Amino acid sequence: MNTQTERSPGTRLGRDRLAALVAADIKAGSYVNLGIGQPTLVSNYLRPEQAVTLHTENGMLGMGPEAHGSEIDEDLINAGKVPVTELPGASYFHHADSFAMMRGGHLDVCVLGAFQVSATGDLANWHTGAPDAIPAVGGAMDLATGAKEVYVMMSLFAKDGTAKLVQECTYPLTGVGCVTRIYTNDAVFLITADGVRVRDMFGTTLADLRERIPVPLEAAR
């Protein structure tokens, strides 16, 4: 996908197109965990020839796309309680074994949502710190620490217009220096040793992003 240099109104990616982009970027043969929320949509866009094996922390390997209609089995759900299908060769195991896989470095990629991501790849996705907020860390800390790569899917801007890509996270951290890519409706960012690079843009320009995001941004090489 080519980086845009001109603003194209109305071309921000919707949730499904963004999920398809993430799915296309996952290397063939990978073992992958999809977090609750937007990331679960990625399962619907993985191609059979990618041979990607999906892991869900409630104890399943070989999860398929979301289930609909007659496919729904109320006993077959992902960690977000969304009905899913199973692929040939799927297996089931104890919750403790599932977390051992997560913590033991056996997952190639996890895709998580986020409240904030810092310029150095710190992740904050379990608590905003607000007095009335209900913290919900789940297995995010285990995934952020154990997976070889962490992709984030999130909206780039909060409801008040502030950027979620920040120089330093102000919310409680889930993981330190763990995020390698950020997928948003406006742009895809790569977290590198040399800083944050903008790989793709959708309906915006690099100048616009630099104006709204408090992080030095460079075009991808």
Q: What's the chain's Rg over C-alpha atoms?
A: 17
Token couple for 68: 């609909």
Which segments of 60-197 does DSSP mark as H helices, in order?
95-103, 140-146
Round to whole Å and give the CA distance between 8 and 11: 6
How far from 96 is each of 18, 34, 167, 208, CA to CA, in Å?
A: 32, 18, 36, 46
**CA-closest candidate to residue 83, choices 60, 100, 49:** 60
Residue 216 gets which letter from DSSP? -
Annotation marks residue 57 as catalytic: yes
Q: How far, rounded to the nearest angstrom, does the alpha carbon of residue 77 sit from its chain's CA centroid?
A: 19
Token couple for 104: 């033991």
Q: Which of 57, 71, 74, 168 is catalytic?
A: 57
Which segments of 9-94 does DSSP mark as H helices, in order?
15-25
Round to whole Å and give the CA distance between 82 and 68: 10
Residue 152 gets which letter from DSSP? E
Residue 171 gets which letter from DSSP? S
Catalytic residues: 57
